[in-house]
Amino acid sequence: MATLKPPTNTHRSSSSGPPKAPVKVDSTATIADNVVFQGPYPVTIGAGTVIHPRAKFYTYEGPIIVGDGCIISEKAVIGSQPPPSSRSSSPLPTRDGEPTPKESTTRISYFVTIGPSSTIEPGVHIHSSATIEALATIRRGVDIGSHAKVCSSCEITGRVQEWFVVWGSGPGMRRKRTRGAKPLSPAVLDAARIAQTPLPAPAPAGKVIEDARLMVLQKEREILGRMLVSVKKK
Amino acid sequence: MSRPFPYTFISCPCADTPVPDPARKRRSRESPQKQSPQKPAPRPSTSEGEKKGLAAGQQEDEDDEQTFDPRSPRSDFSLYPPEQLLYCEECHQIKCSRCITEEIVSWYCPSCLFETPSSMVRSDGNRCGRNCFNCPVCTAPLAVSTIENATGNGTQQGPWVLSCGYCLWTTLDIGIKFDKPTNIRSQLQKMTDATPPAAFDRSRQASRTLESLKHPLSSAASVEEHARDRDVDQPTPKEDPAAPPMSTDARFAALKNFYRAQIAETSNSPNDHLSSDFGFSSPGALNRLMSLYTSSSRLGGLYGGSKKAKSKPPVMREALTASEGLCIAPKNGEADIIARLASPECGWEGVASLEQRAAQSPDARFVEDLLPLPVLLRTKRAKRCKSCKHILVKPETKPQSTRFRIRLIALSYIPLPTLCPLAFSSSSSLPTMAPTPDLDSLVPLRPIHVLLTLKNHMFDPVRITLATPPVTPGRVATKVTVLSPQFEIGANSDVWDEALQGASAPLSSDSKSAGLGQRGVPEAGKVWDKGRNWTTVVLEVVPGTLPGSSAEGGDGNPETTDEDVVAVAASKKDEDVLEIPVFVHMDWDADAQLDQQNLGKSSRADDKVTRELAYWMVLGVGRIQASL
């Protein structure tokens, strides 16, 4: 409904330009005008996904599958451009004839947020509800677990387990998020024992924070969709 | 140097006079003799004035005759960029960061911008006592957020948590939630601060019973004996239900109390004031220590048997019970920690890093032990002159305001020097446009012209005398000539005043400057350009040759070459940097009102006082290249 000129209809690239990737978009996805889709392999975009302007999809090494309810921010690059030499020699380097390198599918699952100017290299698998922050780089073939977060400007070369946060700079520091209810801090326990005061009531599980975050994301997507519709009507 | 060429530094005179020098202060106040304002004071007359004025003038002259050497190791400590310097109106001297003292005006939290009263700073541990916290994992600020609202109920009540927006740490990670969104610090303190209500009384009681049992404990053996007795009487401290394990703070407090009581009780003489607080420095304590050694080693006879006749001095004992602060290390504490480290649910990620542990309690080994950290407070500081205690900088007390009540920066008193190379080739007198010389590789022995602009920020016109050594100090002898060493800079008057006054004076100066600018040939004795409150003069610089370079021996340096060859091996870093020391002497007619209010009311017309100020500055022109 909120599709801003589905890119399947726009034929701005001339025949001489780089190959236009075949794009399969759910009708409820919101895709900005000047998102770049290049390469021989197809791009699939799920329902309710929002793709911001100047995001780039390069499918020279394999298809890209984006699940439902994702947000891909502006100038994010998914996939990689072919090296300039092969690009000039043959516009379709992987399809015909020559032995193609193993095709690697880039998969982005449900409710994933990808920050501005981040880079997702081919073959990456990002599981659901993960967050990639601005300027982060996910190297080839890395698996990002669900509910994980890669903080801004981190560079990920190895697997990130689910519910982990990678923060800091470069390879970063890792921290496990809490899912269940945690025991009280030893400092609090000791204090309560010494002062002979009743222990504070147990806190809820850490999952509620993540639930809240996902709910806020959902709202954000909905509001964005509504805003775009109202803009279009005007 | 760290700055790109060309740069200017000003030398703070404090390097020469480390102690506040009253003679210098008096000299720079004002010179007694009156000078006619029309004639720019020539240099000999000023030095004459100095000599006449004061006995210390002789020494001053000697000081002035010494050329400032920008290469000397000491000068690194006195050279400052002009904008970093302050000026003391009382001493009439430039002040750098080493000749001021700082005092704290206010403490405030950088996060909530609330001022903390200085009486509260210590009890709060230099940290914000309100709602501001930093993440214990990644140090990002924590936000107070509700859980209930997020999970669906619209009301704003319910448990609250602190959550980090960056690494997604929340207080749920350590199982803590808060009932109110305000005063989080006191809520957290209530949860973690373990001061047992009756603990101190109990410890005092326990020690009192010990003393009553056997007051003057004569030797360590008896202490042990006594402890054994006590063990028989009472359950051991480990099994004592009345003495639960304490938190670190409580244990520290208990130990401190215990030792204070011990020192008070074991000190020999009650009238000994030194031992009452901390008795090791007192002669009584020394005596006690000595007798302790003599009695234990059975050498008492050597040191005089008379001491034995005295009553045995009391001995301090150590803490024996947990309520006194004794903490017995758990039997397999280390093993437990190691097992926990190796367990799969902890892993590398679960261990707190050194940075994370730095501000936490010493028991915190794992990420789960970390507590949110209240934000450290910051200060606003006032700056005072060290010699006269005059306030130079005073910021507004309120943390929200960035303004200053007083700020005497040097640039509003001394002209701002700026340097730029002249883009004309100087070898031919024709005004052909040559490219600006590359300051990072100046050609030796080829003269260049450098424009030095001095901009006056005072409301009085200033007479300037520049002086440079004809040859720069150091082994690279660069010849420097100031083409017009004496000139005037106009006052920093209001621009509108000048515009409204009528076109006569400013127009002529403008046309003059335009004419000067177009002519473009540096001439000796003439200023290059002049504006409302600035003047530009030309310096002719002939870069010297680097020792051992190919240009050596061609011209200029009649030094012995073998010496240079040796020197090249130990060639100092940055010797090719061309820095010119320039002595600036400025004098101006200032209103005397600032200094002498009582004199000011007598007559308005001639209460002008001639002031002078002199300092060294260093012009960093460029880097001399090695070969021609």
Which whole number is the average pLDDT over B284-294? 70
Q: How confident is the model at residue B27 (pLDDT cuts 50, 70, 90)?
A: very low
Q: Which of B161, B168, B246 sits opposite A165 (nearest CB)?
A: B168
The strand order across the sheet containing A23-25 reads A23-25, A43-45, A64-66, A106-108, A125-126, A143-144
pLDDT computed for residue B483 by the predictor? 86
Higher-pLDDT residue of B201, B329: B329
Asked if B174 has any chain A CB less than 8 Å from its own CB, the reply is: yes
Window from B185-199, B285-299, B508-522 with minimum mean pLDDT:
B508-522
pLDDT band at residue B479 using 50, 70 and 90 as cut-offs: confident
Which chain B residues in 198-217 lie under 8 Å from chain A, judged by CB atoms? 199
Tell me whether residue B305 is exposed, middle or buried, using C-beta atoms within 10 angstroms of its C-beta: 0 to 12, 13 to 18, 19 or more.
exposed
With respect to residue B573, please indicate whether it lies within any of the assigned structural domains. yes
Residue A151 at interface with chain B, using a CB cutoff of 8 Å: yes
- Please tell me the distance from the alpha carbon of residue B549 to that of residue B575, in angstroms, as a whole number: 12
Domain ranges of chain A: 23-177, 179-234
Interface check for A219 against chain B (CB to CB < 8 A): the answer is no
DSSP string covering B151-205: TT--SS-S-EEEEETTT--BGGGGT--BS-SS-HHHHHHHHH----TTHHHHHHH
Candidates B299, B183, B196, B314; CA nearest to B257 is B196
- What pLDDT is recorded for position A64? 94
* H or E stretch at A126: strand A125-126
State the Cα–Cα distance between residues B545 and B446, nearest whole angstrom.
10
Pairwise pLDDT comparison (B489 vs A225), residue with the higher score: B489
> What amino acid is encoded at B385 in this protein?
C
Least confident of B150-164, B217-231, B394-408: B217-231
- The closest alpha carbon to A20, from A36, A6, A4, A5, belongs to A36
Q: What is the pLDDT of residues B546-557, one digit of tens each?
A: 776 554 444 444
Task: Based on the fold, state whether residues B345 and B438 are members of the same structural domain.
Answer: no
- Write phi, then psi, for B76 (nearest 5 degrees): -60, -30
Query: B371 in contact with A at a CB cutoff of 8 Å?
Result: yes
B451 in the same domain as B339: no
Query: Same domain, yes or no, for B435 and B569?
Result: yes
Instruction: Please report the pLDDT score of residue B244 as a whole number.
Output: 57
ipTM of the complex: 0.82
**Is B473 found in the same domain as B599?**
yes
Query: Can you tell me the mean pLDDT for B285-311?
Result: 59
Residues of B in contact with A192 (CB under 8 A): 191, 194
Q: Once rounded to an integer, what is the mean pLDDT over residues B165-194?
A: 86
Q: Is B574 on the interface with A (CB under 8 A)?
A: no
Q: What is residue B343's predicted lDDT score, i.e. its pLDDT?
A: 87
- Cis-peptide, bond into residue B141, ω within 30° of zero: no
pLDDT band at B246; cut points 50, 70, 90: low
Per-residue pLDDT, B49: 39
**pLDDT (tens digit, 9 = 90+) per residue, B127-150?**
998 889 999 998 999 999 887 655
Domain around B148:
129-193+332-374
Say whether both B167 and B79 belong to one domain: no
| CA dist., res. A231 & res. B65, Å (int) | 77
Pick among A182, A217, A218 to test the B interface (most B CBs inside 10 A): A182
What is the reported pLDDT for B229? 44
Q: Of B205 and B284, which is predicted with more confidence?
A: B284
* Res B163 pLDDT > 80: yes
Q: Does B589 have pLDDT greater than 80? A: yes
Banded pLDDT at B284 (limits 50, 70, 90)? low
Q: What is the mean pLDDT of chain B?
A: 71
Q: How far is it, in rounded angstroms, from Cα B60 to Cα B54?
A: 10
Strand stretches in B12-150, DSSP E: 79-80, 86-88, 93-95, 100-108, 115-116, 133-134, 142-146
- For the ranges B4-18, B212-226, B288-302, B509-523, the one whose mean pLDDT is highest: B4-18
* Of A161-165, B144-148, B482-486, highest mean pLDDT: A161-165
Query: Residue A188: what residue type?
Result: V
Hey, CA dihedral for A221, A224, A228, A229, is it positive or negative? positive
B455 and B540 fall within a common domain: yes
- Using CA atoms, how far apart are residues A209 and A178, in angstroms rounded to an integer? 9
The 3-class SS string of B191-222 reads HHCCCCCCHHHHHHHHHHHHHHHCCCCCCHHH
B367 touches chain A (CB under 8 A): yes
B15 to chain A, any CB pair closer than 8 A? The answer is: no
Mean pLDDT comparison of B30-44, B263-277, B476-490, highest-scoring range = B476-490
Q: Which CATH number fits domain A23-177: 3.40.50.720, 1.10.275.10, 1.10.260.40, 2.160.10.10?
A: 2.160.10.10
Based on the domain organization, do B286 and B162 belong to the same domain? no
From chain A, the residues in CB contact with B368 under 8 A are 182-183, 185-186
Among candidate residues B98, B96, B95, B92, the one with its CA nearest the CA of residue B586 = B92
Residues B568 and B435 grouped into a single domain: yes
Q: Provide mean pLDDT across the span B160-176.
A: 89
Q: Are A8 and A31 in contact (CB under 8 A)?
A: no
CB B406 within 8 A of CB B88: no
Distant-in-sequence, close-in-space partners of B323: CB < 8 Å, separation ≥ 6: B199, B202, B203, B206, B240, B242, B243, B254
Q: Which of A191, A200, A211 sits opposite B151 (nearest CB)?
A: A211
Whether pLDDT at A23 is above 60: yes
Predicted local confidence at residue A21, as pLDDT = 87
Q: Check B147 against A212: CB less than 8 A apart.
A: yes
Instruction: Find chain B residues with C-beta within 8 A of A151's C-beta.
Output: 166-167
| Backbone phi and psi for residue B279, each to the nearest 5 degrees, phi listed first | -80, 15
> Quick one: pLDDT at residue B473?
81
| Nearest-10 Cα torsion for B261, B267, B269, B274 | -90
CA contacts within 13 A on the Cβ side of B100: 24
Summarised one tens digit per residue, pLDDT across range B355-371 is 889 888 887 888 888 99
Q: Looking at the predicted structure, is the pLDDT value of residue B37 above 70?
A: no
Mean pLDDT of B381-406: 90
Residue B250, exposed/middle/buried by CB under 10 A (0-12, 13-18, 19+)?
A: buried
Q: Is residue B118 part of a domain?
A: no
Whether B24 has a pLDDT exceeding 50, the answer reads no
Two tokens, residue A56: 């780039």
Instruction: Please report the pLDDT score of residue B283 as a whole number.
Output: 62
Q: Is B509 on the interface with A (CB under 8 A)?
A: no
d(CA A162, CA A171): 17
Residue B288 corresponds to which tokens in the numbers above?
A: 């006690």
Q: Is the pLDDT of residue B574 over 80?
A: no
Q: How many domains does chain B have?
A: 3
At B600 the pLDDT is: 43
Note the pLDDT of residue A16: 58
Give the nearest chain B residue to A191 (CA atoms).
B194
Q: B582 near B1, Cβ under 8 Å?
A: no
Q: Return the biggest CA–CA distance within chain B.
A: 110
Same domain, B482 and B352: no
CB pairs under 8 A between A and B: 130
Chain A: nearest CA to B227, how far in angstroms? 25
User: Is residue B618 located within the same domain as residue B513?
Assistant: yes
Provide the angle, in degrees to the nearest 10, between the axes of the packed helices B184-192 and A186-195: 70
Q: Please check whether residue A9 touches B, CB under 8 A.
A: no
Minimal CA separation from B176 to chain A, in Å: 6
Q: What is the pLDDT of residues A90-140, one digit of tens each?
A: 444 444 444 456 788 999 999 999 999 999 999 999 999 999 999 999 999
Beta strands A50-51 and A71-72 are parallel
Non-local CB neighbours of B311 within 8 Å, separated by 6+ positions: B216
Residue B150 forms contact with A (CB below 8 Å): yes
Q: Are residues B155 and B234 in the same domain?
A: no
Q: Could you identify the residue written with the tokens 């000078």?
A: B35
Q: How many CA atoms lie within 13 A of B170 on its CB side?
A: 30
- Which of the residues A113, A160, A194, A215 would you substitute to probe the B interface, choosing the one with the greatest number of B C-beta atoms within 10 Å? A194
Across the beta sheet with A155-156, the strand order is A36-38, A56-58, A77-78, A119-120, A137-138, A155-156
First to last CA, chain B: 24
Q: Which amino acid is at B292?
A: L
**For the ranges A52-56, B194-198, B330-334, the one whose mean pLDDT is highest:** A52-56
Confidence of residue B435 (pLDDT cuts 50, 70, 90): low
Phi, psi of B616, rounded to the nearest 5 degrees: -100, 140
Interface contact B148, partner A, CB < 8 A: no
Residue type, B313: P
Strand partners, B471: B479
B474 and B427 both lie in a single domain = yes
